[in-house]
Structures are given as structure tokens and as C-alpha cells.
């Protein structure tokens, strides 16, 4: 370095540094794991409480940061709203997430939503709404983009929070209003088609369906789409004496609309309208001339209804005659629809609608079956004789059908499918059978009865022993049904349980009158009356069950059997389900028979449910039932 000045040395060093710098990349490469990749792509304020990567990038474009936005939120949102460096999609999606994050920060789960939080949720929903419908591309063009899925989630969650808050404020608004100021916004009166029974369209309780899970239900059936899913709960129906019960637990999909003809008018409006839609009737909604699929949760109302029903205790009390149910009820699982075929389910001994927990859920969860069928469940006291239940259930079904369809011409009133389990299967078979005069032989009577006494006796017994098939039913499915009784009913334990059963007083009085009619003038006053209860009737030696097992099923009815096989050793004919022998549940002439490795509760097995769904499809196809793409109406052109 001799002869070089310090300045020269410095210049050489600087030049070397410059040369090295030009040879080094300013960008590094890092490989991330699949988990990290998914987190970067899909994490957002809803699932991690941190802003999504897309929103953070938007902030970077306009020289903002997360901390800066947190410190001065109005400046942050205004900068994004008016920055020329962003296109509408990036601008609106980021604003939707930022306002949602702000609303979440202002929300305390233990207190009602404040005006400040409600306004933030409405801002979030409006920006998401504008992104979806008022940007250059329509939703279909972004169908595979993660960002649109995120924005849809922002909208649906913001709607959930806002609608829940609106619902809490409805009592303050009364009934005679068309618009009302709420949290700085103008709430337009809701439009709804969600019927809650008893002529009511306003819920008494509204529960978000998002996040609900149910023990005892194998699956949650829902439909992805636009809007927030709720369970709308109506008032407990008054007991007016009629046998039918319309559902007061129904699905509701809430949608918020921000009126406007273009992006500028949507972003400037403070009007907001709530649409409350029934997802059984509405598959979609029309916005900005676009048909948008609606979200729905079909399991949540059913699950909450069952969880609150108290059926387990009621059914036991009813069996022993210690209160509970006293007469059959027809429970509609969804608001009556004249354009859907009807499936009627009857449970078994000591049971209730809980016997059909997964069956009904799986039927309602199947898109094709849901559009084609509606489910009714018959809930009846299982302590009384089979013949009495048969007569009362038939009357309840006739009254229900006449109430909803007096002319009997609706799709719902024709080609009905009956499904019965255990004793419910026995009753279901008798509902499609003809008795003629074949059951009179089970009635013991004195040979010296006068003609007048015989006529009197016949009149008293006719409602129980004289019946014809329900003309509306054209298909029936019997599951583990003891058509010829079961020896289990003769076991010591069964007889002991039967001895604990109390029959209704009115039935005992009727039984006394019938007994007196049997004895005629020779009746002994005070003679105790013995009426067989349901357990007596299910014995394979019971006269009624033996006689009724020979009754012919209507030729207009296609029928199927599903039997359980519990620890079978040998041929099927020697098997049973632990309660009912195969020889009792088997029926000649059935369109199909399925044996399932199962205990007596075969109806809850996946194999039986798959078979039920198959049979319901066969029924619909045989009727040439068509499901139009435009709506839920079913059109059936001929009988099977």
C-alpha cells in the first residue's frame, strides 16, 4: 500500500463494497411447510383473530400497518377507501375485514352488542356486499378464489352479529313501523317467509346455528352459501285440542341488503333491509340480477327441538300411565308444504320421536329427499291396547290431513309413505290393512245375548275392530315389527312391567261398558274389568295379535321390511333381533327385505337408514316425481 494516500485507500474499499453489492441478491427464498402455506392463505380475523395476508398486503400498498390502523382506525379506513393505488376488490375486501375486526374488538360476549359494534358489523357487511355484487367481476368469475370465500365468511358473520342485535331491539320498535333508526343506520322492516306455526312469523327466540354441535346426531346437514344460518323458535303452541303440532323450531337464513344501483350508491347508503328466508322454500335469492345460493342449516332446529323436548321422560311416564302423553299427536318436522310428498313415522313401545333421531336427520339432510318429502312423526301413548292406538292414530291422521288439505288433492295428501318401528310397525301395517269381519272372533261373548245387546256390543267395538286401509298411503316400511307377536312379552320381567302399567281412566270406563255389553243382562255389578295393555297385545299368544297378523294388506300398497339379526347362528328363519323373532317380522309379498346385523333398534343403524333412503328414492321415481330447478315444488304424474 506504499505510495497510496488514505483517501485513495478509502476509495478502493468503497468501490469493492459497491462491486460486492451488485453481486448480492436483495431477495431470499424460503420454503414453507404445507401447514404454513395453508395458514397464510386461509387465516383471517375470524379464525385466528389476526388480519389475513391479503389485507396486510393491501395495507402495505398504501403505506399503512396493522399497528398504525389500530392506533388511528378512521385514518386507516379512509386512506384505503380513497386511495387510487387499489382496485375495488382489494379495497372493499380489506375494509370488510378491518371493520369486522373492529366490531369484534368492541364486542363483549357477556353483554348486548353496542351501537358502536353494531355499526361496525354493518359496515363490514356492506363492504362485503359491495365486493360481491358491485365490482367488475361477478361472484361466478371468482368462484375458485380464496379471497372471495373469506369475504363471504366476513359477510355471513357480520350478518349474524347484526341480525342478533336487531332481534334484541325488535320489542322496542313495536309492530307498526316501516323503518327505524338503529345505531346510525336506517333499518327497513324485515321481509320474511319463515312460518313458525299458529300464524306467527316473528320468532320468540333466535339462535345462531354456526358452531352448534349435537350429541346423539351423527351428522350435521347444512348448505354452504350466502347469508347467516339461525334457528328461529316460535311460541309454545297452545293446546287447542287438535292432534297436529306445527313446528316452532325452524331453520332461518338471514340476509342483509344495502339498496343501491351502483357501487357509489351502495357505499353511501345508510339503509339496510333484512330478509329472513325459509331454506326449505328458498334455495337462492336474487341480488343485482344474479341468482345467489342461500346458506342453510337443516339439522340445528331438529337438534335443539329434540334437546329441549323431554321426550325420554315423557315416554316412560306415558307407558306407565303416570302422566305425560294421553292421546296421539301428529308432529310436523317442518312447516306444512302441499307440494312435498309426506312420510309418516310411528315409533315403538316405551319410545317417542327420539326413536327417529338419525333417521329424520338423514332424510332431511339428503338434498334430493329434502326437496321431495316432508316428515311427520306420530307421537302416541304406548301403554294402551294396539287396537285403541290404531283407532286414535287413524283419527288423528285423518283430521290432520283434512285440516291442511280439505280437498285431499295436494301432493302431500297422496302417495304417503308409512314407516313404523316395532309396535309402530304393527300399527303401520294395520293402517294399510282390511279387517272386514275377521277380528270379531277375538271378542268373547255370551251365547244367549239378545240381538239388541249384540248390536250394542258391535257398535262399541266397531271403532277398534272394523277398519279399512288409509287410501292416501301407497307405500309402507316395517322395521323390526312383531306382526305375530314376540315370546319376550310372556317373560316374567315383561309381565311384571306390564302389571305396573295404568290405563287411562276413560279407557277403563269404556272397557267396563264393553264388558257389560259382552255379558248382557247377566252382567254382575262391580265385576272388575281387565283390559289388555300394549305389552299383553305384543305377546305371540295374544288373540288380537294372532288374528290381526292374518289381515290382508291393501293391494295398492307397496311394502318393505327391515329386520335386525342379533348374534345369528344358523339360518335367517331361526334368527331374532334380541326381542322380535324373524318369523314374526317377516312378511310374504314384500317388495324388499333387508336383514341388518343389529339389536332391536335397527332403525338407527347406517345400513337401515341407507335402505330407507333407497326406498324413498324408488317411491319418488315410481311416481315420476320431478324436482324443478327453480324451486321446491314436486310434480308427480302417476302411481307406482
pLDDT in tens, 324-372: 678 899 999 998 999 999 999 999 987 889 899 999 999 888 999 999 9
Ordered DSSP codes for 243-311: SEE--SEEEEEEEEE---SSHHHHHH--EEEEEEE-TTT-SEEEETTEEEEBPEESHHHHHHHHHHH-H
Is a pLDDT exceeding 50 seen at residue 528? no
Q: Helix, strand, or coil here: 553?
A: strand
**Are the CB atoms for 359 and 603 separated by under 8 Å?**
yes
What pLDDT score does 5 carry?
A: 64
Least confident of 214-228, 449-463, 613-627: 449-463
- Comparing 233 with 110, which gets the higher pLDDT? 233
Taking the C-alpha atoms of residue 381 and residue 316, their distance in angstroms, rounded to an integer, is 9
Asked if the model's pLDDT at residue 518 lies above 60, the reply is: no
Summarised one tens digit per residue, pLDDT across range 66-102 is 999 999 999 999 999 999 889 999 999 999 999 999 9
Q: Residues 122-149: what's their mean pLDDT?
A: 95
Higher pLDDT, 39 or 559: 559
Of 246-255, 286-295, 477-486, give the lowest mean pLDDT range.
286-295
149 pLDDT above the threshold of 80? yes
Segment 487-493 shows an average pLDDT of: 69
* CATH code reported for the domain at 313-441+472-483+548-622: 3.40.50.1820
Q: Retrieve residue 249's grid coordinates.
A: 323450531
Share of the chain above pLDDT 70, in %: 82
Q: Distance between CA 433 and CA 16 in Å, rounded?
A: 103
Question: For residues 520 and 59, which has the higher predicted lDDT (pLDDT)?
Answer: 59
- Cα end-to-end distance, the chain, whole Å: 107
Structure confidence at residue 626 (pLDDT)? 55
Distance CA 517, CA 513 (A): 6
Average pLDDT of the residues of the chain: 86
The arithmetic mean of pLDDT across residues 198-220, rounded, is: 87
The per-residue pLDDT for 329 is: 94
Lowest mean pLDDT, pick from 194-203, 305-314, 514-523: 514-523
Inform me whether the pLDDT recorded for 503 exceeds 50: no
> Which residue ranges does the chain devote to CATH 3.40.50.1820?
313-441+472-483+548-622
pLDDT category, 443, cuts 50, 70, 90?
Answer: confident
pLDDT computed for residue 505 by the predictor? 46
Rounded to 5 degrees, φ, ψ at 491 are -65, 155
Entry pTM: 0.85
Q: What is the pLDDT of residues 581-630, one digit of tens each?
A: 999 999 999 999 999 999 999 999 999 999 999 999 999 999 977 555 54
Amino acid at each position: 500500500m506504499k505510495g497510496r494516500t488514505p483517501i485513495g485507500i478509502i476509495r478502493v474499499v468503497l468501490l469493492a463494497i459497491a462491486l460486492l453489492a451488485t453481486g448480492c441478491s436483495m431477495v431470499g427464498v424460503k420454503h414453507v411447510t404445507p401447514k404454513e402455506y395453508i395458514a397464510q392463505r386461509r387465516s383471517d380475523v375470524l379464525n385466528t383473530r389476526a388480519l389475513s395476508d391479503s389485507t396486510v398486503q393491501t395495507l402495505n400498498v398504501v403505506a399503512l400497518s396493522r399497528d398504525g390502523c389500530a392506533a388511528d382506525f378512521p385514518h386507516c379506513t379512509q386512506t384505503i377507501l380513497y386511495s387510487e393505488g387499489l382496485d375495488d376488490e382489494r379495497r372493499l375486501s380489506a375494509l370488510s375485514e378491518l371493520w369486522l375486526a373492529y366490531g369484534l374488538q368492541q364486542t363483549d360476549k357477556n353483554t348486548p352488542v353496542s351501537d358502536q359494534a353494531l355499526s361496525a358489523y354493518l359496515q363490514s357487511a356492506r363492504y362485503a356486499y359491495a365486493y360481491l355484487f358491485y365490482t367488475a367481476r361477478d361472484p361466478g368469475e371468482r368462484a375458485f378464489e380464496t379471497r372471495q370465500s373469506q369475504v363471504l365468511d366476513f359477510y355471513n358473520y357480520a350478518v349474524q352479529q347484526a341480525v342478533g342485535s336487531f332481534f334484541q331491539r325488535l320489542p322496542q320498535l313495536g309492530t307498526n313501523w316501516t323503518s327505524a333508526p338503529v345505531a346510525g343506520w336506517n333499518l327497513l322492516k324485515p321481509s320474511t317467509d319463515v312460518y313458525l306455526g299458529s300464524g306467527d312469523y316473528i320468532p320468540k327466540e333466535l339462535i345462531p346455528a354456526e358452531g352448534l354441535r349435537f350429541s346423539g346426531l351423527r351428522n350435521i346437514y347444512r348448505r354452504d352459501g350466502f347469508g347467516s344460518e339461525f334457528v328461529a323458535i316460535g311460541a309454545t303452541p297452545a293446546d287447542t285440542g287438535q292432534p297436529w303440532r306445527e313446528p316452532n323450531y325452524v331453520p332461518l337464513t338471514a340476509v342483509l341488503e344495502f339498496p343501491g344501483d351502483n357501487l357509489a350508491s351502495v357505499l353511501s347508503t345508510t339503509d339496510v333491509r333484512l330478509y329472513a328466508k325459509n331454506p326449505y322454500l328458498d334455495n337462492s335469492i336474487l341480488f343485482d340480477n344474479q341468482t345467489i345460493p342461500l346458506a342453510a342449516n337443516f339439522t340445528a332446529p331438529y337438534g335443539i327441538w329434540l334437546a329441549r323436548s323431554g321426550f325420554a321422560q315423557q315416554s316412560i311416564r306415558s307407558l306407565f300411565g303416570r302422566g305425560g302423553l294421553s292421546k296421539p299427536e301428529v308432529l310436523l318436522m317442518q312447516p306444512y308444504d302441499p307440494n312435498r310428498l309426506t312420510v309418516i313415522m310411528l315409533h315403538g313401545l316405551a319410545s317417542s320421536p327420539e326413536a327417529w333421531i338419525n333417521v329424520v336427520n338423514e332424510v332431511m339432510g339428503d338434498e334430493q329427499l329434502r326437496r321431495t318429502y316432508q316428515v311427520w312423526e306420530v307421537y302416541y301413548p304406548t301403554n294402551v291396547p294396539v287396537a285403541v292406538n290404531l283407532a286414535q292414530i287413524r283419527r288423528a291422521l285423518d283430521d290432520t290431513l283434512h285440516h291442511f288439505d280439505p280437498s285431499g288433492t295436494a301432493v302431500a295428501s297422496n302417495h304417503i309413505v308409512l314407516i313404523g318401528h316395532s309396535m309402530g310397525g304393527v300399527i303401520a301395517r294395520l293402517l294399510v290393512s282390511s279387517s272386514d269381519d275377521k277380528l270379531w272372533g277375538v271378542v268373547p261373548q255370551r251365547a244367549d245375548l239378545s240381538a239388541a245387546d249384540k248390536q250394542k256390543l258391535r257398535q262399541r267395538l266397531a271403532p277398534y275392530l272394523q277398519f279399512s286401509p288409509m287410501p292416501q298411503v301407497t307405500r309402507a316400511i316395517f322395521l323390526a315389527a312383531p306382526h305375530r307377536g314376540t315370546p319376550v312379552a310372556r317373560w316374567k320381567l315383561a309381565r311384571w312391567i306390564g302389571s305396573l302399567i295404568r290405563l287411562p281412566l276413560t279407557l277403563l270406563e269404556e272397557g267396563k261398558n264393553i264388558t257389560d255389553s259382552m255379558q248382557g243382562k247377566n252382567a254382575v255389578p262391580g265385576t272388575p274389568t281387565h283390559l289388555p295393555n300394549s305389552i299383553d297385545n305384543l305377546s305371540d299368544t295374544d288373540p288380537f295379535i294372532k288374528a290381526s297378523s292374518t289381515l290382508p294388506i291393501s293391494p295398492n300398497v307397496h311394502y318393505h321390511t327391515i329386520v335386525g339379526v342379533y348374534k345369528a347362528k344358523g339360518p335367517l328363519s331361526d334368527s331374532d333381533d334380541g326381542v322380535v323373532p324373524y318369523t314374526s317380522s317377516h312378511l310374504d309379498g314384500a317388495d324388499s327385505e333387508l336383514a341388518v346385523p343389529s339389536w332391536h333398534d335397527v332403525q338407527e343403524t347406517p345400513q337401515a337408514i341407507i335402505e330407507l333412503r333407497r326406498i324413498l328414492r324408488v317411491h319418488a321415481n315410481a311416481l315420476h316425481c320431478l324436482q324443478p330447478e327453480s324451486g321446491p315444488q314436486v310434480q308427480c304424474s302417476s302411481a307406482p
